[in-house]
Structure 1
Amino acid sequence: MTAGQKNVARVGGNGPSLTREQFMEAFHEMLLIRRFEEKAGQLYGMGLIGGFCHLYIGQEAVVVGIQMTLKDGDKLITSYRDHGQMLAAGMTPRGVMAELTGRATGYSRGKGGSMHMFSREKNFYGGHGIVGAQVALGIGLAFANKYRGTDEVSVAYFGDGAVNQGQVYESFNLAALHKLPCLFVIENNLYGMGTSVERASASHELWRNGEPWGIPGRRVDGMDVAAVHEAAAEAVAHCRAGKGPYLLEMMTYRYRGHSMSDPAKYRKREEVEEVRKTRDPIEHVRHILLDAGVSEDSLRKIEDDIKATVNDAAEFAQSSPEPDPAELYTNVLLEA
């Protein structure tokens, strides 16, 4: 366990937790993300997914816990480690996998791939490959919410590797200045590309990085879906009430390399195995459900259904047609 993990504040340990039904929902959603990402890794290894592919394995509790606090109309934007956010937002495994494999049935008609797919229907605004750029777009979405007079919020996800980008602090300033309903979520998985956050950031309490602009923040155990849910509920309520932005630092961990092309030799195998063994978010919820009286057979049924869903998505993607060459010229330029 690293120093960053040792300093995680346990949120919600003595406070309200999720109901059994909510834990069941969380278990389903986290397991779907995990199995989907594992399948995506397999397809990448087979050469069926081109370009970059950043897997979300290990970080599932963050997006699931936050998504459970949101409502229809809330906006989402994130970086390139985005498949988990897509699935949690309700985008279909078929559509996401088809886009990953560059097929015409994908969300961006096969032109966006892993890092650049969108769904207006689900209020998911990407998937962005430029580090930190999505944060500025996220406050734009929040500005639109405020301008229209709604109580909808914008959630902008970014990682510890992006946290010191200049546009992030410009976004903090504007969001605070105009009291924009934007929830900033730092997914601190301790490594940006191949560099430890402790070597890359002079600030070792990233949740406090918004303090110069008066943005309240909180550090959360991002491997505990109930802790994430509780902190996110407080933050979202703050934004909905017109009090301006909020910053959450989610202490989480990715089990795989930065991307599929990263062998992750910058950390010891024992470190990864310790997190898997002691802090895995899905196993944590599994034990909670078993202790609450849910049967092994019920959980196994969920696992079997998810396996079938993910296999169906992979088969659908592989059997879908590639985009027509004429698609190169669509949705590129709007003449107004």
Structure 2
Amino acid sequence: MASLATLSRRAPRLFRSLTRSVQTVADSTQPRDAPTPSKPFTVRLHDDTFQGYKTEPPSLDVEVNKDLLMDMYQKMTLMRRMEMAADALYRQKLIRGFCHLAIGQEAVSVGIESAITPEDRVITSYRCHPFAVLRGGTVKGVLAELLGRQDGMSNGKGGSMHIFTPSFFGGNGIVGAQVPLGAGLALAQQYTGKNDVATFTLYGDGASNQGQVFETFNMAKLWNLPCIFICENNKYGMGTSAERASANTAYYTRGDTIPGIQVNAMDIIAVHQSVKFAKQWVSDGKGPLLMEYVTYRYGGHSMSDPGTTYRTRDEVQKMRNTQDPIRGLQKYIEDWGLASEDELKAIDKASKSEVEKATEEAKSSPIPDMNDFWSDIYYKGTEPTHMRGREREEVHYF
């Protein structure tokens, strides 16, 4: 048996191994092969891109190609422009209520989408607009929904946090409540024998201490569910820093018997690689996996909170200048000779034009009328012949 002296010498090394954090630089990946626009090539991620808990982390060597990186860039710029448009509409008081933007976290949604299929399922919390578009929606549909118009993806009745597609099960407004729902989706996949698909269940560091999260981890491990739990650690829950809210801020270690991976989620290539790893994990029948995406958002908790009450303007500006995931990908594409600065500017210009057009169309969409109160109560095609209203005489016929 090891002596107390031996254990005390080992303890600091063990503690450091659990608390060591990934770096979050957006442009630290280097090519291993000579990059070429005409065929795939291999790049190597920074040594501190991943940390593993009860499993080896993903390989640092990643095969990429021009089409993949250019597609990522186009989608990231489109998502950024869409969220900037929502920001402007909110400031004009055309969007009211809560509006949670994902500016600065585009590598998460686009990186996940780059490595999954339409058969996979995604569910997240309220910072959901990019997922809604990437999983089959439209920019116009999201902006119209935020404006409360009929052309919105939920017909103007769901708002910022309740937008869905056949493979995206929403933004969810109750903190942590989407985690057990995600396990339910994974159970359905397992029950129907879909062994090569997974449910990606996202939640924030602010939701990580919810009891239902830990209960779900337990059930997912007991039942070996194909569920990938992703904690988006953007360092703050509401205005409270992770260190003030959580005794253990190494969120990837908090699944108990569920293995975990910590990921630099400011580098989209790292996110892409982590999702490929997760997909293979599920295909191999290993059950649930917990991933912590270390990221940063440039706005506050929501549009009603600019985020400068608990972070200095200098901190936010420094992150914008040094750790922007879009700038990081732009640097890769230019440095590796895949496209010129002018070609990338043309993509950004096209994204801006697309969002401007979608914004005007969304603003011109009609506001829901009284008859819309009676719709979407039942799944389409299953409505009864009629329904009573508040009083016996108030009857609506479908």
- Is it true that 1:289 corresponds to 2:366 in the alignment? no
- Is it true that 1:66 corresponds to 2:109 in the alignment? no
In 1, Cα distance between equivalents of 2:150 and 2:20: 43
CA shift in 2, pair 1:13/1:298, >3 Å: farther
- Is it true that 1:124 corresponds to 2:168 in the alignment? yes
- Is it true that 1:330 corresponds to 2:369 in the alignment? no
Q: Which runs of 4+ in 1 moved over 4 A?
A: 3-8, 333-336
Deviation at 1:7, TM superposition (A): 5.5
In 2, Cα distance between equivalents of 1:309 and 1:5: 38
Q: Are the equivalent residues in 2 in contact too, given 1:4–1:190 (CA < 8 A)?
A: no
Q: Are the equivalent residues in 2 in contact too, given 1:17–1:226 (CA < 8 A)?
A: no
**Count of aligned positions:** 330
Q: Are the equivalent residues in 1 in contact too, given 2:239–2:310 (CA < 8 A)?
A: yes
In 2, Cα distance between equivalents of 1:6 and 1:61: 16
Matches within 5 A, 1:77-226: 77-120=123-166, 123-150=167-194, 151-210=196-255, 212=256, 214-226=257-269
Q: Are the equivalent residues in 1 in contact too, given 2:22–2:263 (CA < 8 A)?
A: no
- Number of the residue aligned with 1:315: 360
Structure 1 unaligned blocks of 5 or more: none
- Number of the residue aligned with 2:49: 10
Query: Partner amino acid for 2:183?
Result: I
In 2, Cα distance between equivalents of 1:40 and 1:4: 37
Deviation at 1:60, TM superposition (A): 0.5
Can you list the C-alpha shifts for 1:261-295, whole angstroms capped at 9, x where unaligned?
00321111111122111111000010111112211
Deviation at 1:87, TM superposition (A): 2.2
Structure 2 unaligned blocks of 5 or more: 1-18, 25-47, 51-57, 385-398
In 1, Cα distance between equivalents of 2:23 and 2:320: 18
In 2, Cα distance between equivalents of 1:315 and 1:263: 25
Matches within 5 A, 1:33-44: 33-44=79-90
The secondary structure found in structure 1 opposite 2:61 is coil
- Is it true that 1:306 corresponds to 2:351 in the alignment? yes
Query: Partner amino acid for 2:271?
Result: V
- Is it true that 1:228 corresponds to 2:271 in the alignment? yes
Deviation at 1:13, TM superposition (A): 8.8
- Is it true that 1:275 corresponds to 2:319 in the alignment? yes
Q: Are the equivalent residues in 2 in contact too, given 1:59–1:223 (CA < 8 A)?
A: yes
Q: Are the equivalent residues in 1 in contact too, given 2:116–2:275 (CA < 8 A)?
A: no
Deviation at 1:169, TM superposition (A): 0.7
Q: TM-score with structure 1 length normalisation?
A: 0.94
Q: Which moved more, 1:11-20 or 1:265-274?
A: 11-20
Query: Partner amino acid for 2:263?
Result: V
Deviation at 1:333, TM superposition (A): 5.2
Deviation at 1:176, TM superposition (A): 0.7
The secondary structure found in structure 1 opposite 2:291 is strand
Q: Which moved more, 1:52-61 or 1:77-86?
A: 77-86
The secondary structure found in structure 2 opposite 1:248 is strand
- Choose from 277, 282, 290 the match for 1:247: 290
Q: Are the equivalent residues in 2 in contact too, given 1:75–1:124 (CA < 8 A)?
A: yes
Q: TM-score with structure 2 length normalisation?
A: 0.80
Q: Are the equivalent residues in 2 in contact too, given 1:95–1:107 (CA < 8 A)?
A: yes
Query: Partner amino acid for 2:301?
Result: H
Deviation at 1:163, TM superposition (A): 0.6
Percent identical among aligned pairs is 48
Q: Which moved more, 1:127-136 or 1:16-25?
A: 16-25
Q: Which has the higher contact order (CA 8 A, sep 6+)?
A: 1
The secondary structure found in structure 2 opposite 1:220 is strand
Q: Which has the larger radius of gyration?
A: 2
In 2, Cα distance between equivalents of 1:4 and 1:237: 26
Deviation at 1:236, TM superposition (A): 1.8
Q: Are the equivalent residues in 2 in contact too, given 1:13–1:227 (CA < 8 A)?
A: no
Query: Partner amino acid for 1:204?
Result: T
In 1, Cα distance between equivalents of 2:208 and 2:73: 29
Deviation at 1:4, TM superposition (A): 9.0
